Structure formats: C-alpha cells, structure tokens
Amino acid sequence: MTGTLTIAGLGPGDDALVTPEVTAALAAATDIVGYAPYVARVRPREGLTLHPSDNRVELQRAGEALRLASEGRQVVVVSSGDPGVFAMASAVFEALEDNPQWQSLPIRVLPGVTAMLAAAACAGAPLGHDFCAINLSDNLKPWTVIEKRLRLAAEADFAIAMYNPRSASRPEGFARALEILKEAGCGGRMAIFARAVSAPDERIETVRLCEARPDMADMRTLVIVGNSATRRVGRWVYAPRQVR
Ligand code: SAH
C-alpha cells in the first residue's frame, strides 16, 4: 500500500470543532505523530499506533512522520488548532526540504479552527477589521523581531492576536509586550484574555490594556488586543466594519 502523510488540525479542544475531513483522516490512519497532549486527544483503537513526543523536537518528529509514510504507513501528524499556524505543517515542509527522497510522497494539509478564531467568536467579533497574529515565543526567533512587529502592528492600528503569550520559562516577555503596546499608545484599547477556549475550563476576560496584568495570561491563553475602534456592546466586544 502507498504511504500517505496528512497534517491535520484538531481545533482548539472541543470535539465538535474537529472538521469532518480531519475525523475521516484520523479514522483511516495507521500512525498518529505529534506533541503528546495532542496525540492524547486521538482515541486509541486496534491497528493504530500512537507516537507521542516532547515539545521541542518538531523537526525530528516531522522526519519520523515522513519516514513512516515512506514505508507505506497512513500517517497523520496532529497539531492543535490549525496545523499551519505556529505548528507542524511548516516543520514537515522543512524536513522535506532536507530530505528530497520523500518529495514525491502524497502529502495533504487539513485545516483546523485556530485558537485566534475560536477566541474571537467567544468574545464577539474583535477580528472584524484588519488584524495580525504574532507568536510571543522567542524559541524560534529573536525577541527584537517580536518587539519590532508589536510596535509596527500598534502603529498600523491592527487588532493583534498573540499566541504563546507566557510560559513558566519566559515569564518576563509578556510583561514587556504589554509595556511596548502601552508605550505605543494602546493603553485605552480592549484586551481579551481567552483561556482554554472550547474546553470545560474556558475563561474569557476583557479589560482595557492599561489594566491588563502579565499574570492574566499563561500558555493556554490567546490574547487579542483590539484596534483603536474596538468597543463593547452588551457582553460582546467587536471591531466595527468601517474605519474612518
Ligand atoms: N496551531 C495552534 C497554535 C499553536 S501555538 C492553533 O492554530 O491554534 C499554542 C498557543 O495557541 C497557546 O500558547 C495559546 O496561545 C494558543 N491556544 C491553543 N489552543 C488554545 C485554546 N483552546 N484556548 C486559548 N488559546 C489556545
């Protein structure tokens, strides 16, 4: 049998947000590869081998998935949310660049509901006008790049979705990010802290950026800072469609 490699997004957590296409790929898989907490979201069954791995071994994990597919396995690499957003799809293509012998394998990327969109839907419509997404982790890029992008995004008046805002190993980065946005004049903007969206312990908090504290975010939080026109209506937060 010809091997295949499918890179699939499991959505933000709730099974109802897994697309039918991804459900079908998981049902046809012989092997599931990914970061252990995401692999744990796939129900074990006979004929399915799970390959959970640690957080920081993305390229190695991608190479392993390609090798399994080259041996004739039906491999699904899983990410949370969407696999193309700060996740495994890029790692697989990087591994493919390093291993041209695998470039003829049938590869598919199946989209998922990314955290930013799930969080925005819980809050209302904070991404209803122009926006950008920034990963605050400096594992794979220098902190100076993050600072520059935050400043320019603030200047351009984008709504800003921030992934990986804060981890135990780098608690100071998010505090600095909040300072940069305040220095750029964003203190009055709405800031949405969306934690564990679509999971049983989901929590959504909205404050003015000047009232935001670094400890309001952790690694399960997606932070959206509105643009200068973003406002509340009842319990909702939204960006008006028109900017004057
Ligand atoms: N590929 C994923 C993102 C991976 S980066 C996606 O498309 O969603 C991991 C970051 O995503 C976390 O640090 C957090 O900022 C965000 N995230 C993932 N799932 C989340 C959820 N259910 N609720 C809030 N944020 C989430």
pLDDT of residue 150: 98
CA 157 from chain centre, in angstroms, equals 22
> Which atom of ligand 1 is the closest one to the Cα of 82?
7
Does the beta carbon of 198 sit less than 6 angstroms from any atom of ligand 1? yes
Cα–Cα distances in angstroms (integers) from residue 34 to residues 12, 27, 97, 105, in the given order: 15, 16, 20, 19
Contacts of 78 (CB under 8 A, 6+ apart): 8, 9, 10, 32, 33, 34, 38, 39, 41, 42, 88
> Which atom of ligand 1 is the closest one to the Cα of 112?
7
For residues 143 and 113, is the Cβ–Cβ distance under 8 A? no
pLDDT of residue 39: 97
Å from CA of 229 to ligand 1 middle: 25
d(CA 96, CA 62): 9
For residues 31 and 23, is the Cβ–Cβ distance under 8 A? no
Per-residue pLDDT in tens (0 to 9) along the chain, 244 residues: 799 999 999 999 999 999 999 999 999 999 999 999 999 999 999 999 999 998 878 999 999 999 999 999 999 999 999 999 999 999 999 999 999 999 999 999 999 999 999 999 999 999 999 999 999 998 889 999 999 999 999 999 999 999 999 877 777 999 999 999 999 999 999 999 999 999 999 999 999 999 999 999 999 999 999 999 999 999 999 999 988 7
pLDDT of residue 57: 87
Q: In 87-234, which ranges are continuous DSSP H helix?
A: 88-98, 115-123, 143-155, 172-183
Domains and CATH numbers, the chain: 4-113 (3.40.1010.10), 116-238 (3.30.950.10)
